[in-house]
Amino acid sequence: MTRSHPQGRQQPWSAPITRRQFATDAATAFVVIAAMPGRVLAEAQMAPIVPFKAHISDTVLHDLNRRLDQAKWPDQLPGTTWENGADNATMHALADYWRKGYNWRVQEAQINRFDQFTTEIDGQNIHFIHERSRRADAIPLMLLHGWPGSIVEFLAMINPLTRPTDPALPAFHVVVPSLPGFGFSGPTISKGWDPQRISTALIILMERLGYRQYGLQGGDWGARISQLMASRAPTKIVGLHSNFLIAPPPSPQAIAQLNEQERKAFLGFKAGEESGYFRLQETRPQTIAYALTDSPVGLLAWFGEKFQAWVDHDGDFLTVVDRDTFLTNLMLHWATGTVGSSMRIYREALLTSGNAAPLARFPAPVGQAIFPKELISTPDAWADQQFNIVQRTRMPRGGHFAALEQPGLLVTDIRALFLKIAPSPG
């Protein structure tokens, strides 16, 4: 299922697991797996992993072109740009490039450079990249995206992580899942795929791949899911790196004790204009799904407005995230018909939020990367109470889509964390 690699010194996290070892070493995993209705431990281990290649049919691509050609455009008030939402001129230019200049087959080939697979967990198809390093001492690392993201966020990071040019730097076996309901994982087909259920499925995925211990990295929903994984399977997580580390107020009085700048950083997003999409997607995602599934221009505007607002730029997000990358991320929602199901994570999280137990403080070492234009900033004191933070980096630039905007900074910070907490390679 994966390429063969030179033999060398094996680390505990990369040693293959036999059936006997799995049965005797899975006390923590059993707790989360047994909570899944109708699943048993053996099934979690033995379900098939199937090789996968990205391919979108010509029929889907031709239909997209037809819809772009026949798009019906809204008016826009004279003298306005982004203040009321997606800017008409920018959307026209992007749609024109999408129709006439963008080449999906080139981008498809870029995705297919990496080993990809699918498997079924809890009745749901899960797609993932599994790119192994040639280094025998490589550390398994799962990278987790959010919304409106996809595996595309991490494509530029995979080779630097798996193939560091300096042998003194840690190498990684990289696993990048498409979250259930996103991209090549396809739409979710049952209720209840909230972050807790997703975290359980991804713990099972890493068990199925034979990784007894591993690291995690995530932003947006991926940050929340990685925190749940680390909390629910603490003996398996050697380190957690996050560029969206959110800690709850440690007491009822904590918010009142914040200064004005801290309060705005922590509460400003939910109270401001930028949160309108959030409220819609956590209450009525199905309604907006009709429009975004039917209209590529509508989807372009829905995503484009978020990138313009959340990327760290000097006026145009496309100067930081190039057009092809932005459109490829869009295509993984459009061509797979998953824009509606990707938004359901907001609704599912809302429906189960009252049942979720508060995250316990877990011992896994945590690296926190703080990008200056992130949507929410947790006070350091709160994060220190919740997490075992061994590294905190205040980045010079970057926003919410850190892996797309500043992949080099993110890779460097991930390496620095695992140099601190993992045995030296060699």
**CATH number of the CATH domain containing 205:** 3.40.50.1820
Contact 388, 231 (CB under 8 A): no
**Is pLDDT above 90 for 417?**
yes
Contact 365, 239 (CB under 8 A): yes
pLDDT (mean) for 336-340:
98
Instruction: Based on the fold, state whether residues 285 and 327 are members of the same structural domain.
Output: yes
Q: How many distinct structural domains can be found in the chain?
A: 2
**In the predicted model, what is the mean pLDDT of the chain?**
88
Q: Which of 102, 211, 214, 346 is catalytic?
A: 346
pLDDT attached to residue 256: 85
Contact 136, 121 (CB under 8 A): no
**Is pLDDT above 50 for 2?**
no
Residue 47 included in any domain = yes
Instruction: Based on the fold, state whether residues 64 and 187 are members of the same structural domain.
Output: no
Instruction: Based on the fold, state whether residues 99 and 135 are members of the same structural domain.
Output: no
pLDDT attached to residue 312: 98
Instruction: Based on the fold, state whether residues 175 and 292 are members of the same structural domain.
Output: no
Instruction: Based on the fold, state whether residues 167 and 316 are members of the same structural domain.
Output: no
Q: Which of 312, 333, 400, 413 is catalytic?
A: 400
Instruction: Based on the fold, state whether residues 33 and 47 are members of the same structural domain.
Output: yes
Q: Which of 194, 220, 324, 413 is catalytic?
A: 220
**Is pLDDT above 80 for 360?**
no
Instruction: Based on the fold, state whether residues 63 and 25 are members of the same structural domain.
Output: no
pLDDT attached to residue 396: 98
The answer to whether 290 is a known catalytic residue is: no
Instruction: Based on the fold, state whether residues 20 and 167 are members of the same structural domain.
Output: yes
Last residue of a domain, one of 293, 322, 348: 348
Q: What is the pLDDT of residues 71-93, one digit of tens each?
A: 999 999 999 999 999 999 999 99
pTM > 0.75: yes or no: yes
pLDDT attached to residue 238: 96
Residue 413 included in any domain = yes
Residue 173 included in any domain = yes
The answer to whether 400 is a known catalytic residue is: yes
**Is pLDDT above 60 for 196?**
yes
Instruction: Based on the fold, state whether residues 48 and 64 are members of the same structural domain.
Output: no
Domain that holds residue 317: 58-73+82-106+268-348
pLDDT attached to residue 32: 40
Closest of 387, 367, 31 to residue 196, by C-alpha: 31
Lowest mean pLDDT across 6-20, 50-64, 215-229, 366-380: 6-20
Q: CA 260, 146, 122, 340: dihedral to nearest 10 degrees? A: 100
Instruction: Based on the fold, state whether residues 299 and 243 are members of the same structural domain.
Output: no
**pLDDT-derived band at 249, boundaries 50, 70, 90:** confident
The answer to whether 211 is a known catalytic residue is: no
